[in-house]
Chains A and B, each alone.
Chain A
Amino acid sequence: MQDSAKEKDIYMEYANIVKRFLISLSGNVDLADDLTQETFYQAYKSIHRYNGNCKMSVWLCQIAKHVYFDYLKEEKHLQKVDLDTLDLFAVQNAKKSYGQVFWLRAYEEMSFKEIGEILGKSENWARVNYYRAKEWIRRRMESDENNL
């Protein structure tokens, strides 16, 4: 297969996962769109370094995380990140690590090992944070119901 065709296939298959991951990090849909493009640009440049040790989606999310952090390092961007666009009422208000871990587990259905790899933590860190996030959300929903 020609390289450009292969790249297009990878993009078609994984663009949504990468975009949703970037939304969960940044909380900003437009920014996530831009950073998704940047992520695939970086990925194509270093596709020869992908060795199949982790899933393609995990590899791409790791790149996306670096792209996002590079973006944040440019100080002028720090103010612009906007947290309301993701309408996940409970998760977006939780501790940031809760939101990310819960997102990757419950919505992207990744294993704790993969989540640890993406976020640069241990498998157990991911597991503990997932259950804490779940408990946080459960309580939050319970108190919302009581206030109706």
Chain B
Amino acid sequence: MPGAEPAGDAAEPVDTAAVADLAEAARRHGASLWRFAVSRLGDPHEAEDVVQETFVRAQRSLEGWRGEASLRTWLHSICRNVCVDRLRARRTVVVPLDQVREARLGHRGDAAGQVADRDALRRALAELDEDAKDAVVLVDVLGFSGVEAAAVCDVPPTTLRSRLHRAHQHLITALEEGDHR
């Protein structure tokens, strides 16, 4: 899948040495965490701050962590909580216009059909509620398994699967409607 993150230690048993080495974890999972955060917040600068805060929190909580989930899952779970806290603190979301403009200008080189598809998907992705979007980003973008994504979102795997299915249906509908326009 193009653009997807490598699975990393998704299926590996817990490695306590790796846990102690948060710097190595940052190297391995930093980019994935940033993508997750930016998909949530829409602001690249704030995403950097969120990833930083994720590791500060991880550092504080390291002693209490019992390794029930993989390190990657645990870090993404913390990152999600940080994002939720940030979104709660926001009253009004302001998306820098430069960013909007860049996003639009970024497609100039694409074929018209692809641009239409991407625009339709981008709009549909933005319309998803946060839970459904998390499911799509974790599974389709970052390469998490359904069980891992469920652990990040703190929901049963069946719930995650249902969210993912709902999200896919929404995106498919958007793409099909885009084709018919």
A, B from the same assembly: no
